[in-house]
Amino acid sequence: MAIELSESQTKALKKQVLQDYESKLAEGLGNPERYFPKLRSAGLLDKYDCEKIRHEVTGKDKVGILVEILDQGRQGRDGKTPYDALIEVLIEEGVHVAVARGLQRTLARAKEDEIRLIGVCLSLCLSICRG
C-alpha cells in the first residue's frame, strides 16, 4: 500500500520548509527586491508588503520579512501556494536556480520523512489491533 500525503499535509510541509529554509534563502538571495514584480503579479505581495520589505536594512532581514509575508498562506492569483510561486519565480529568473533546487530537495526529504512516520504509525496501530 502506497502512502500519499493529502493536499493539506503537502501545503503544511511547504509552509514549514519555507520557515526552516529562511536562513539559506537569506544567504542565497541576498536582496529579494528583484523578485517583487513577479511576486506582486502572482498576487503574493502587494505594494505595502514591498515597502515593508524595502524598509529593512539587511538582505537577511528583508528575506525574513518576505518569508513572514509568504508564511501568511496567501494563495496566488493562479491558485499556487507561496512556496510554488517562489520556486517558479526563482527558476524563471535563472539567477537563483540553486536556491530553488535546494528548497525542492528540502521539501522532498520532508515528504519522505512524513510518509515514513505515517507508515510507522500505521504499522504500530496494526500490530496493536492484531495483538
- Residue labelled with grid coordinates 528583484: 34
Residue 1 has a pLDDT of 62
Count structural domains, the chain: 1
Task: State the residue range of the domain holding 126.
Answer: 7-130
Distance CA(100)–CA(95), nearest Å, equals 10
Q: Which three cell numbers stand for residue 127?
A: 500490530
Is residue 1 situated within a structural domain? no
The structure's pTM equals 0.82
Dump pLDDT digits (tens) for 38-61: 999 989 999 999 999 999 999 899
> Is the alpha carbon torsion for 10, 29, 105, 78 positive or negative?
positive
Is residue 2 situated within a structural domain? no
Residue 8: is it exposed, middle or buried by C-beta count within 10 angstroms (0-12/13-18/19+)?
exposed
Q: Which three cell numbers stand for residue 122?
A: 500505521
